[in-house]
Amino acid sequence: MRLDNRLSLVASYVRRGSRIADIGTDHAHLPVWLIGNGICPSAIATDIRSGPAERARLNIKKAGLESSISVRLGDGLDCVAPDEVDDIIIAGMGGETIAEILGSAAWTKDSRYHLILQPMSKPDFLHEFLFTNGYAIHSEQTAAEGARLYPVISAGYDPQKAARQASRPASYIIGGLDRQRDSIYIEKQKNRLVKAAGALRRAGKIKEAEKLEKLIYELRS
């Protein structure tokens, strides 16, 4: 099995030897690849829908990995116990949904856990949630699939580092991205802010527009 660029980047953040939970696993491609390639000894693959969970079971059975990967039907991390996992993957969901899942699992506020998050939308919302809840971003990169760029975040509970990151307003937009390596994605985010600021000015919301314009200036500097 070959992973696409997005899932390959997600997989690259998984710590060798860690027990993983793949939340919203869908076809279980990621845990099958990680176990099959000897990266992880065990995995929990969860999904909130019975259809994807059944597809996951079929793929796991086809790979002969039933003894290493447990498929569970449940909402977010509700069906995962704190002592069962080391690395937690939440990929392919909106930033708000990822934040909601973490917010419902207070036990993840522990530095032993490594979070690998891949928001499909609203990464800035997820950045803000992480910083304000004590989760620091260790690293962040983007993966290209056609014309689309997907951010992938490596994070963990570290209130002091999170507070330092929160003190830099640009971090709410670009998180832990590298300005050179991820310049195309960052440029897209700046263009989005420019359009939003213009729309606010046209609507007479000057203070809100000025706030965004200050952020745009910081991103350009």
- CATH number for the domain that contains residue 74: 3.40.50.150
Please determine, for residue 221, whether its predicted confidence score (pLDDT) is greater than 80: no
Q: How many Å apart are CA 20 and CA 65, to the nearest integer?
A: 14
Measured between alpha carbons, how far is 83 from 71 in angstroms, rounded to an integer? 17
Q: What's the mean pLDDT in 123-134?
A: 97
pLDDT at 68: 97
Distance CA 106, CA 110 (A): 9
Q: Is residue 150 one of the residues assigned to a domain?
A: yes
- What's the rounded Cα separation, in Å, for the pair 104 and 164? 24
pLDDT of res. 109: 98
DSSP 8-class letter at 86: S
What's the pLDDT tens digit per position in 46-79? 999 999 899 999 999 999 999 999 999 999 999 9
Mean pLDDT of all residues belonging to the chain: 94
For residues 195 and 123, what is the distance between their CA atoms, to the nearest angstrom? 18
Range of 83's domain? Answer: 5-168
Q: What is the pTM of this model?
A: 0.93
**Is the pLDDT at 83 greater than 90, yes or no?**
yes
Q: What is the 3-state secondary structure (H, E, C) of 50-62?
A: HHHHHHHHHHHHH
Q: Tell me: do 162 and 185 sit in the same domain.
A: no
Distance CA 5, CA 145 (A): 6
pLDDT band at 26 (very low <50, low <70, confident <90, very high): confident
The reply to whether 92 falls in a domain is yes
Domain count of the fold of the chain: 2
Mean pLDDT, range 5-24, rounded to an integer: 97
- Whole-number pLDDT of residue 147: 86
Q: Based on the domain organization, do 82 and 131 belong to the same domain?
A: yes
Q: Are residues 156 and 81 in the same domain?
A: yes
Identify the residue whose tokens are 């971090």: 171
Q: What's the alpha-carbon Rg for the chain, to the nearest Å?
A: 18
Structural contact between residues 79 and 116, judged by C-beta atoms closer than 8 angstroms:
no
Query: What is the pLDDT confidence band of residue 218, given thresholds at 50, 70 and 90?
Result: confident
Mapping DSSP to helix (H, G, I), strand (E, B) and coil, where does residue 1 land? coil
Counted residue by residue, the chain has a size of: 221
Return the DSSP state at 179: T
Q: Is the pLDDT of residue 1 over 80?
A: no
- pLDDT given for residue 146 in this prediction: 86
Q: Look at residue 120 in the predicted model and tell me its pLDDT.
A: 96
Q: Residue 93: beta bridge partners?
A: 119
Task: State whether 130 and 74 are in the same domain.
Answer: yes
Q: Are 117 and 205 within one domain?
A: no
Cα distance between residue 81 and residue 113, in whole Å = 12
DSSP letter at 42? -
Render pLDDT for 148-201 as a digit per residue (tens, 0 to 9). Answer: 999 999 999 999 999 999 998 899 999 999 989 999 999 999 999 999 999 999
Q: What pLDDT score does 18 carry?
A: 98
Q: How far apart are CA 9 and CA 141, in angstroms?
A: 8
Long-range contacts of residues 187-192, Cβ cutoff 8 Å, at least 24 apart = 188/149, 189/124, 189/219, 190/216, 190/219, 190/220
